[in-house]
Amino acid sequence: MSQLKNDRFLRALMRQPVDTTPIWIMRQAGRYLPEYRETRARAGSFMDLCQNPELACEVTMQPLDRFPLDAAILFSDILTIPDAMGLGLYFAEGEGPRFERPVQDAKAIRALGVPDPEDKLRYVMDAVRLIRKELDGRVPLIGFSGSPWTLATYMVEGSSSKDFALLKGMMFDDPDTLHHLLGVLADTVIAYLNAQIAAGAQAVMVFDTWGGALSPENYRKFSLQYMQRIVDGLTREADGRRVPVVLFTKGGAQWLEDMADTGCDALGLDWTVEINEARQRVGDRVALQGNMDPSVLYASPEKVREETKKILAGFGKGSGHVFNLGHGIHPKINPEHVAAMVETVHEEGRKYHD
């Protein structure tokens, strides 16, 4: 494997000194880029794009060719796991993801097994191998997965949901069945992320998109407990260096201390918490990633620069900050506004590093 030419992202996650604050963007390969839309049209469908390693590699590289970002993130989807479990994922136009065969009772849930990532999810591993080769040490590659709780929301509801009626009904009425499902999913995520690391991912992130929909007690029981299991089960070293693990619960600011206790290396922050407050609360136990509201990018480049500077100043001096948005970039953002943010992070970030 080629040596990394730019490792400031990995160094920041390990809270080691860097020359300036690194930045990458959630959903950086996405619909806001005209080149992505062109490749997506060529692929035929979103799933065809995900399942074609050459095209997944192509779109992973697009934002790096346009902006001087400090990390690449594998182009894929969190729902590849339930698809590999046989639930039949498809995307209805304008409606988002749906499953042909959701699992809504104990019998269906207990029939689920852990898919072999090099078999049913081989296309993901092939994409990781191809991207690493194509990157040739430019920047590190991030692998990722959805959290067990978040995957379960889609698997039980059959699609995205506003109130999670079926899943929360199960949580209260039949917690044993839900714990069984979450246990199988935790084992699957461990196998899936470890396979990504073996294929070349240099950092991994767990997206707990719907953890914020839970009460504090149920968050710890049904979401955090299983993320803890994942952190404990991951390969933490490859290519002679540490593989950092980032946990991100959207709407989870009240649990930052609990998340830091898992032994992860970094926490993703959404925009509902001030970054200076988050840093005070977790101290130097973990790095922080975030946390600009993606909607700021709708504003003028001048305003984008101003808001970017605020977050850099909020974190303050020292390493341990990876600049990012508080969630995925919106599809209608002007790429020139993204360029203003990336440039500002690198220029202004130098003030906060000796």
pLDDT digits (tens, 9 = 90+) for 76-122: 999 999 999 999 999 877 778 999 999 999 999 999 999 999 999 99
**Long-range contact set of residues 164-168: C-beta below 8 Å, sequence gap at least 24:** 164/210, 164/213, 166/104
Identify whether 3 is part of a domain.
no
- Mark whether 192 is an active-site residue: no
Query: Does any domain span residue 325?
Result: yes
**Is 211 labeled as ligand-binding?**
no
User: Confidence class of residue 2 from pLDDT cuts 50, 70 and 90?
Assistant: low
Q: Is 154 noted as a catalytic residue in this protein?
A: yes
pLDDT at 319: 96
Whether residue 51 lies inside any domain: the answer is: yes
Classify residue 1: in a domain, yes or no.
no
Picking from 65-79, 93-107, 221-235, which range would have the lowest pLDDT averaged per residue? 93-107
Q: Is the pLDDT of residue 1 over 80?
A: no
* Residue 67 placed within a domain: yes
pLDDT at 3: 87
Do the domain assignments include residue 239?
Answer: yes
Helix (H) or strand (E) holding 225: helix 225-233
Domain count, the chain: 1
CATH code of 96's domain:
3.20.20.210
305-341 pLDDT, tens digit each? 999 999 999 999 999 999 999 999 999 999 999 999 9
Write down the catalytic residue from 8, 11, 40, 229. 40
Residue at 109 is within a domain: yes
- CA–chain centroid gap for 195, Å, is 16
Spatial strand order in the sheet of 287-292: 72-73, 141-146, 203-208, 245-249, 266-268, 287-292, 321-325
- pTM here is 0.97
| 48 has catalytic annotation | no
Residue 2 within a domain: no
The yes-or-no answer on residue 138 being catalytic is no
Express the helix, strand and coil content of the chain in percent, nearest 5 each.
50, 15, 35
CA distance 145 to 346: 28
In this structure, are residues 66 and 24 in contact, taking their beta carbons and an 8 Å threshold?
A: no
Q: What is the mean pLDDT of the chain?
A: 96
pLDDT surpasses 70 at 150: yes
pLDDT on residue 286: 98
353 is in an annotated binding site: no
User: What mean pLDDT comes out for the span 229-245?
Assistant: 96
pLDDT digits (tens, 9 = 90+) for 157-201: 999 898 999 999 999 999 999 999 999 999 999 999 999 999 999
* Residues 167, 214: Cα–Cα separation, whole Å: 11
Q: Residues 31-52: what's their mean pLDDT?
A: 95
Q: Which of 7, 117, 118 is nearest to 72 (CA)?
A: 7
8-state DSSP, 140: -
Is 88 known to sit in a ligand binding site? Answer: no
Q: Which residues contact 283 (CB under 8 A, 6 or more apart)?
A: none
Q: Are 202 and 185 in contact (CB under 8 A)?
A: no
Q: Range of 161's domain?
A: 8-352
Would you say 229 is a known binding-site residue?
Answer: no
pLDDT of 354 > 90? The answer is: no
